Amino acid sequence: MIRYTLRCENGHDFDGWFRSSESFETMRQAGQVACADCGSQRVEKTLMAPSVPRDSDRAPRPLTGPRNPAEALLKKMREHVERNSDYVGLRFADEARAMHEGRSAHRSIHGEARPEDAKKLIEDGVPVAPLPFIPRQKAN
């Protein structure tokens, strides 16, 4: 959408929103653009400056904390998982299977698995679940 500052033949200024410049011209020629003050349909676009944010508006918001309750819960869950389990990276499927089969001591783990490996774990009854966040560590 494009916002134009418009002026009627009587000097009244007002704003209008249009899909495109062509859309404005089509609506104006069809008599569908009128002054908000006097109803005149003789309307022109005025000289406009683009809306440019100030440097202070442009600065990205630091990612210091959650922006909403869902993010707060995800942050809390991530912290809990990272504090109470071992990150095993791409060895996740092998480690989970080894614990399930008794070849390795049981412990809480988290990591990464290819979709086909995760599906096979579930089909084989290995108790696993996807986490709703991406691990901080990357094992590629």
Give 92: exposed, middle or buried? Use CB within 10 Å, 0-12, 13-18, 19+. buried
Q: What is the pLDDT of residue 61?
A: 57
Residue type, position 121, single letter: L
- Quickly list H helices, the chain: 21-29, 55-58, 69-84, 92-100, 115-123
- pLDDT of amino acid 42: 93
Q: Bridge-partner residues for 14, per DSSP?
A: 6
Q: Residue 8 carries which side chain, given as an amino acid letter?
A: C
The pTM score is 0.51
Q: Could you say which DSSP state residue 60 is in? A: P
Pairing of strands 2-8, 43-45: antiparallel
Residue 54 tokens, joined: 């100030």
**CB of 84 within 8 A of CB of 76?**
no
Q: Please say whether the beta carbons of 40 and 68 come within 8 A.
A: no
- What's the pLDDT score for residue 93? 95
Tell me the pLDDT of the chain (140 aa) as tens digits: 788 889 999 999 888 888 888 888 999 898 889 988 898 999 998 876 666 666 655 556 555 666 778 888 888 999 999 999 999 999 999 999 999 999 999 999 999 999 999 999 999 999 999 888 777 765 54
What per-residue confidence (pLDDT) applies to 35? 87
Q: Look at residue 37 in the predicted model and tell me its pLDDT.
A: 87
